[in-house]
A and B are shown apart, each in its own frame.
Chain A
């Protein structure tokens, strides 16, 4: 059974988590706690999740426009429940080839009609003449058929090659995306592991750093691993401007001592582990400033995030 303070802290975390109001690293730390199988935490979260689900009812019902159902129905017809990765095969991308019967007919003969009272010679000559007239046309037609068929074959191969190239490009792009996602997931796992390790250390401490006037939306949390004498720092900052870098400071009553540089990802999230110097005592606070590339010996800019360390 937890004491009252622990229960209150647990309820606060569960309530904020259910509302989606914890910062990213706090949410991950709480998820780790749930994975450790804390029954009370799981029960509190389930109850608060139900409250959040019910909150949707507080909004007044509003009739959506009638046409939306038609749009939706049309959308469902167009987007059946198929995996997004299914691509059409090449033969589905083009019309089937025309049969040879559909090749345009040859032009009719332009010779004048023969009179009906002609001699057999004349008739024979006429037949010979007709044959002589037909042969060039037949040859021309054969060449035309061959040309049309050849063009169609060439176009078919070209189209199939284009589709295959397109599919290969899509697969390559997807592979790159998955690789990047895997790297990000690995980073998250590492971060969660280090935060959990810090929280499990005896007398573990958590220091919240809040955004100051110059950057009110920034924030950071220091998980103080007392066993390893390290600070595990998770921060959500704005991307640093060109030529600048964030710097973390140990603040004592006498001095501000550089704790190291913080380089956020393009998303603004940063994670770092800092070893505390053995000779540092009576830490009063921690602060983050924006410094020139390479860092400074002493802070040269206003404080971006700041958190006091209870004695």
Chain B
């Protein structure tokens, strides 16, 4: 799947999934609270619960196809796995798991390093599942409006809104330029590919400046006065749903306490 298609598909699910009409406050509260508990949990059990909960919600209730979810997870998981291998091999103190003697130094792999590596992996996977739950069930408009209501500084929210919209415009432009370069053999050979990439990036940068200029003009022509106003018609959060999320969070925190001594090794 090309990258732009993956992005567009994420967007499509966000608008059509069965949770699309649920209050964004509910969804954001669930995803963000579970995410924070997951990354701050000292026990490896809690991230597993969070991952399972978010995944079941996504696959069963939001009806996201399994293969699509796995596709999405695959990219960050590969990166994460590489980092965790480094952590396992080179981090930690205390009790050694094994030692490899080289003539000039002794390489020690620590038990605590392995534990840290596994814990990191689980925490991040738990957090990823929460983020994916949010982006796959909640349209970006809903997220922006909720952030604004939560008093996140306006300049950040408005910048994010414009960036979001024009990412898609520029992915398209970049793909077209890339194809045009390929057709004129700009990708034959490593040096030429690097040069083509440099030209493309430079060009794209200038395009973004021009686009910004034109968009501002167009916004001015419709009475823009420095404030982006949006139509707010999100459904209100259901009290039962909010209560359910709070109970879930309390269970997570309790689970974290009860499983404090569960070690990886």
Q: Are A and B associated in one complex?
A: no
Residue positions of B touching A, CB distance < 8 A: none
